[in-house]
C-alpha cells in the first residue's frame, strides 16, 4: 500500500501486484461494460474511516522522512494492508490536501484522509451496465444523470472537480440493433451488396460517364475512335474486374491482358479488352462536370465530384445496420498519389501522405455506420467549435437519447465534448491530453509526479471521471461511463525466460500472464477501441481500383470497398456465420465473398473484339451525334471498306475516325453506317 505524499493535492493512489489481484477476483458472472470474460476485476467502494484508522494514517505521514522512505511503523502498516488484500479485500487511500504546501492542523488533516476496504465484489446483475442501481431511488438516479447544472459551470474552475466518491448513473441501452433488411435465406452476395450499393448508382455512373466522354470530345475538338457509349452491364463488369484486381494483384494493369500464360488472366480477356478497360477508366465519372461550380462561387462543394455517391451510400450504410451499444470513433488514412488540397502530410505516421477519413464503427463487428471526409480547415463563417467536437457531433447525429457508449481517440476527447454528449444521452470514454481545457490541474504531470506501474489517480464530477495512470507510459483519460475505484487485469501471453530462471508469480505454467492493474476507463477503452481497426483490417486486405492522379477516384474505390466490407459483415451477422447457398468450402471468408460478388457482377458479359466491331454499327440512325463524321484520315489513300464489302476496289483518303475505316466521299459513308 502506497503512502500519501505530503504537500500535494492528490486523489486516488492504488498500488497492487498481479498475484495479489488474482486472489480478489470477483466471483460474479457479470463483468463491467463490454469487458472480456478473461479480464479479472474488482470494485473498490469508499467508506468513512474510524478515528483510530485516521490516526494510523496520519502517523504514517508523520513518520515519512525527507528522502521519501517510510518509517518502520509505516512499513508495518503496509504489511498489514498487504495481508488484508491477500485475505480477500482491496485497499485504497484517498488523500486531499493543499497543492501550495500549506501545513494543515492534525484534526483537519485527519478529516481529509479516507481509508476504505472491501471484502466482496460488485453485485452487478445487469447485462448492459457495469453499475447496479437497485438500491437507488428514482430521484437520486435522475439527479445523478442530469448534467444540466454542470453545463453552466466553468470546467476550468478550481471547484469543478471533486473527490472520486460519487455514484454514477448509467442508463440501460435497450434500442434494437443489428442488420436491418428483408433478405431471405436464398440471398447471395450480390443481394447484400445491393443493400449498400444499389443499382441506381450504376445507372447514374453510366449516364455521367457517357456525358463526360462527349464533353471531353467537344472540348478537345477531336473524336475518340476507340470510345463508344457504355451500359449498366458493362459498368458492373468493370467494377467486378477492379474487385478481382485486389485479390489477384499485379504491378501493372496491362499485365492482366498479357499473352504470357503465366501472367495473363483468361477471365479478364474474355470479359473485355485492355483498350476498353482503359477507356472506361479514362471517362468514368460520377457528376455533371459542365455544371460544377468553381471555387468562390455560391454553392461550391469541395466534394462535388463524389457528392452523388456520398448522398446514396451514407444513407444506405446508416439504414442497413442499426448501431449497437458500443461504438468507436477514429480516423483512417487513404494512400494517394494525386493532388488534393486537404491531403495531409504526417511524418511520424506509417502513412506519411494521404487523405483523412473519420469513421464511426461498431466496436464488436467493425461495421462502418458513417464516414466523414476531411476537406480542410473550416471557413470563418462556420461555428467556432473545435474540429474534433464538430466531427464527433456530426458522426453521432441521430443517436441522441439512446445511451450508446462512444470510445474515441485522444484527438477528440475533451471535457466540454463529454459534457455535451452526456446531456444528449451518450456516454463516452477515451484518452486525452492533460494540457487541454478543463482537465484537472491536480492530475497533471507537475502535480502527480512520477507514478509507479499500476498506480492511478482519479477526480470526479458527477458521471465525468478523470484518470491518470501509468501502464507502459503515463496515460490521461476522461470517461462518463466508468465508476471510479474499479480496477482490472487483462490476461496476456508471454514467452518463458530463455535463461531457465523461474517465472514470476503472475504467470502460470501455460504462459498466461496477468499484466498491470488498470482502472476501469482504460480497460473499457482497451476492449472497445477496435471498431475502426477491424474495419481497416478487412478493407486493407484487398484493395479495389488502381492508383491514379485523380483524387476523387480514391474516394470512389474507398466507398466501394467499404460497402463490400459492410455487406460481408451483414451477411455474416444475418446468417450466423453460415455461407450462402451453393458454397461448398469449409469456411466462407471475406475472400470468398469478394470473388463471388465479382463473378456475379460480371455475369455472362463478354465484351470481346467481335462485339467491339459490331458496336461500330449501333448508331446508324444518327452517327453524327456520336462523333461519326467523314473527315480526312491520312495523306495516303486506302481502300474503301464499303466498296471492298461489295467486291469493288476504290481508294480514298477520307473516312470515319470513330470506326477507323476509309470510305469514299460519295454515299459510302451513310451506307456503311447502316
H helix intervals, 146-198: 148-151, 189-196
* pLDDT band, very low/low/confident/very high, at 341 (cuts 50, 70, 90): low
pLDDT in the model for residue 73:
36
* pLDDT band, very low/low/confident/very high, at 348 (cuts 50, 70, 90): low
User: Does position 349 have pLDDT exceeding 60, yes or no?
Assistant: no
User: Does position 613 have pLDDT exceeding 80, yes or no?
Assistant: no
User: Does position 69 have pLDDT exceeding 70, yes or no?
Assistant: no
Give the H/E segment covering residue 61.
Answer: helix 51-62
User: Does position 406 have pLDDT exceeding 80, yes or no?
Assistant: yes
pLDDT in the model for residue 124:
34
Mean pLDDT of all residues belonging to the chain: 74
**Regarding beta strands 464-470 and 474-479, do their DSSP bridges make them parallel or antiparallel, or are they unpaired?**
antiparallel
Residue 662 burial by Cβ neighbours in a 10 Å radius (0-12, 13-18, 19+): buried
- Residues near 56 by Cβ (< 8 Å), separated by ≥ 6? 77
* pLDDT band, very low/low/confident/very high, at 573 (cuts 50, 70, 90): very high
User: Does position 439 have pLDDT exceeding 80, yes or no?
Assistant: yes
* pLDDT band, very low/low/confident/very high, at 16 (cuts 50, 70, 90): very low
**Regarding beta strands 405-408 and 326-335, do their DSSP bridges make them parallel or antiparallel, or are they unpaired?**
parallel
Residue 443 Cα to chain centre, angstroms: 29
User: Does position 493 have pLDDT exceeding 80, yes or no?
Assistant: no
* pLDDT band, very low/low/confident/very high, at 40 (cuts 50, 70, 90): low
CB burial of 560-586 (b: ≥16 within 10 Å; e: otherwise) equals: bbbbbbbbbbbbbbbbeeebbeeeeee
Tell me the three state secondary structure of residue 126: coil
Average pLDDT score over residue span 254-278 = 91
pLDDT in the model for residue 593:
95
Average pLDDT score over residue span 646-673 = 86
More confident site: 657 or 602 = 602
Q: Over pLDDT 70: what percentage of the chain?
A: 66
Distance CA 564, CA 196 (A): 8
* pLDDT band, very low/low/confident/very high, at 606 (cuts 50, 70, 90): confident
Question: What does the angle CA 649 – CA 654 – CA 659 come to, to the nearest 5 degrees?
Answer: 90
Distance CA 294, CA 373 (A): 20
pLDDT in the model for residue 611:
52
Helices and strands in the chain, H and E counts: 22, 24
- Please state the φ and ψ torsions of residue 480, each to the nearest 5 degrees: -125, 10
pLDDT in the model for residue 560:
96
**Regarding beta strands 518-519 and 178-179, do their DSSP bridges make them parallel or antiparallel, or are they unpaired?**
unpaired
* pLDDT band, very low/low/confident/very high, at 492 (cuts 50, 70, 90): low
Nearest to 440 by CA among 9, 15, 6: 9
pLDDT in the model for residue 347:
59
Is the CB of residue 562 less than 8 Å from the CB of residue 259? no
pLDDT in the model for residue 345:
56
Is the CB of residue 97 less than 8 Å from the CB of residue 447? no
More confident site: 578 or 86 = 578
Q: How many other C-beta atoms can be found within 10 angstroms of the C-beta atom of residue 587? A: 8
Q: Please write the tens of the pLDDT for every residue from 123-145.
A: 333 333 333 333 333 333 333 33
Average pLDDT score over residue span 266-285 = 93
- Grid coordinates belonging to 247: 485479390
Contacts 24+ apart (CB under 8 A), 639-647: 640/664, 640/668, 641/668, 641/672, 642/668, 642/669, 642/671, 642/672, 643/668
Query: If you average pLDDT over each of 98-112, 311-325, 577-591, which comes out highest?
Result: 311-325
Residue 182: DSSP 8-state: -
44-58, 67-81, 204-218, 575-589: which has the minimum mean pLDDT?
A: 67-81
User: Does position 58 have pLDDT exceeding 60, yes or no?
Assistant: no
- Residues near 614 by Cβ (< 8 Å), separated by ≥ 6? none
Distance CA 620, CA 576 (A): 54
- Grid coordinates belonging to 121: 465484489
Residue 398 burial by Cβ neighbours in a 10 Å radius (0-12, 13-18, 19+): exposed
> What are the Cα distances from residue 510, in Å, to 17, 20, 139, 513?
20, 19, 50, 9
* pLDDT band, very low/low/confident/very high, at 318 (cuts 50, 70, 90): very high
Amino acid at each position: 500500500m502506497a503512502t500519501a505524499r505530503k504537500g500535494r493535492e492528490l486523489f486516488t493512489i492504488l498500488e497492487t501486484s498481479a498475484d495479489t489481484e488474482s486472489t480478489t477476483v470477483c466471483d460474479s458472472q457479470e463483468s463491467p461494460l463490454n469487458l472480456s470474460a478473461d479480464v479479472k476485476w474488482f470494485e473498490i467502494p469508499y467508506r468513512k474511516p474510524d478515528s483510530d484508522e485516521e490516526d494510523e494514517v496520519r502517523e504514517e505521514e508523520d513518520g515519512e522522512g525527507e528522502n521519501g522512505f517510510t518509517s518502520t511503523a509505516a512499513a508495518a502498516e503496509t504489511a498489514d494492508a498487504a495481508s488484508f488484500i491477500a485475505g480477500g479485500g482491496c485497499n485504497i487511500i484517498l488523500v486531499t490536501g493543499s497543492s501550495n504546501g500549506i501545513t494543515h492542523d492534525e484534526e483537519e488533516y485527519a478529516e481529509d484522509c479516507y481509508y476504505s476496504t472491501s471484502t466482496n465484489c460488485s453485485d452487478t446483475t445487469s447485462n448492459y451496465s457495469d453499475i447496479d442501481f437497485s438500491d437507488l431511488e428514482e430521484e437520486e438516479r435522475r439527479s445523478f444523470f442530469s448534467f444540466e447544472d454542470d453545463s453552466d459551470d466553468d470546467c476550468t474552475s478550481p471547484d469543478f472537480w471533486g473527490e472520486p466518491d460519487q455514484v454514477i448513473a448509467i442508463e440501460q441501452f435497450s434500442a434494437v440493433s443489428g442488420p436491418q433488411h428483408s433478405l431471405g435465406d436464398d440471398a447471395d452476395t450480390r443481394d447484400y451488396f445491393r443493400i449498400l450499393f444499389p443499382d441506381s448508382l450504376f445507372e447514374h455512373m453510366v449516364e455521367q460517364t457517357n456525358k463526360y466522354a462527349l464533353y471531353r470530345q467537344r472540348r478537345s475538338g477531336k473524336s475518340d475512335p476507340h470510345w463508344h457509349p457504355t451500359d449498366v452491364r458493362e459498368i458492373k463488369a468493370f467494377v467486378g474486374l477492379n474487385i478481382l484486381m485486389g485479390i489477384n494483384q499485379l504491378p501493372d494493369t496491362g499485365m492482366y491482358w498479357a499473352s504470357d500464360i503465366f501472367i495473363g488472366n483468361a477471365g479478364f480477356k474474355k470479359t473485355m479488352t485492355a483498350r476498353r478497360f482503359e477507356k472506361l477508366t479514362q471517362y468514368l465519372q460520377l457528376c455533371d462536370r459542365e455544371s460544377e461550380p468553381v471555387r468562390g462561387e455560391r454553392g461550391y462543394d469541395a466534394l462535388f465530384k463524389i457528392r452523388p455517391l456520398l448522398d446514396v451510400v451514407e444513407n444506405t450504410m446508416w439504414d442497413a445496420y442499426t448501431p449497437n451499444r458500443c461504438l468507436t470513433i477514429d480516423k483512417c488514412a487513404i494512400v494517394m498519389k494525386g493532388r488534393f488540397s486537404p491531403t495531409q502530410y504526417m511524418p511520424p505516421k506509417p502513412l506519411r501522405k494521404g487523405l483523412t477519413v473519420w469513421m464511426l464503427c461498431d466496436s464488436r463487428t467493425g461495421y462502418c455506420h458513417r464516414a466523414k471526409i476531411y476537406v480542410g480547415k473550416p471557413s470563418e463563417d462556420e461555428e467556432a467549435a473545435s474540429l474534433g467536437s464538430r466531427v464527433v457531433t456530426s458522426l453521432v447525429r441521430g443517436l441522441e437519447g439512446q445511451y450508446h457508449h462512444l470510445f474515441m481517440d485522444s484527438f477528440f476527447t475533451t471535457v466540454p465534448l463529454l459534457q455535451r454528449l452526456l446531456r444528449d444521452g451518450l456516454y463516452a470514454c477515451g484518452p486525452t491530453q492533460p494540457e487541454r481545457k478543463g482537465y484537472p490541474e491536480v492530475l497533471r504531470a507537475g502535480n502527480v509526479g512520477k507514478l509507479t506501474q499500476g498506480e492511478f489517480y482519479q477526480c470526479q464530477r458527477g458521471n465525468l471521471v478523470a484518470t491518470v495512470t501509468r501502464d507502459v507510459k503515463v496515460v490521461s483519460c476522461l470517461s462518463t461511463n466508468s465508476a471510479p475505484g474499479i480496477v482490472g487485469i487483462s490476461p496476456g501471453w508471454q514467452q518463458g525466460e530463455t535463461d531457465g530462471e523461474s517465472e514470476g508469480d503472475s504467470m502460470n505454467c501455460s504462459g498466461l500472464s496477468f499484466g498491470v492493474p488498470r482502472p476501469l476507463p482504460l480497460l473499457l477503452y482497451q476492449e472497445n477501441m477496435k471498431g475502426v481497426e477491424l474495419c481497416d483490417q478487412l478493407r486493407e486486405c484487398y484493395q479495389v481500383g488502381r492508383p491514379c492522379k485523380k483524387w476523387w477516384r480514391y474516394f470512389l474505390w474507398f466507398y466501394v470497398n467499404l460497402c463490400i466490407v459492410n455487406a460481408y459483415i451483414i451477411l455474416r451477422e444475418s446468417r450466423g456465420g453460415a455461407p450462402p447457398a451453393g458454397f461448398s468450402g469449409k469456411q466462407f471468408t471475406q475472400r470468398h465473398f469478394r470473388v463471388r460478388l465479382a463473378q456475379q457482377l460480371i455475369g455472362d458479359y463478354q465484351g470481346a473484339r467481335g462485339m467491339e466491331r459490331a458496336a461500330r454499327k449501333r448508331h446508324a440512325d444518327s452517327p453524327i451525334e456520336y462523333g461519326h463524321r467523314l473527315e480526312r484520315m491520312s495523306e495516303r489513300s486506302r481502300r474503301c471498306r464499303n466498296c471492298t464489302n461489295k467486291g469493288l476496289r476504290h481508294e480514298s483518303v477520307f473516312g470515319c475516325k470513330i470506326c477507323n475505316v476509309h470510305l469514299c466521299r460519295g454515299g459510302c459513308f451513310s451506307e456503311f453506317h447502316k
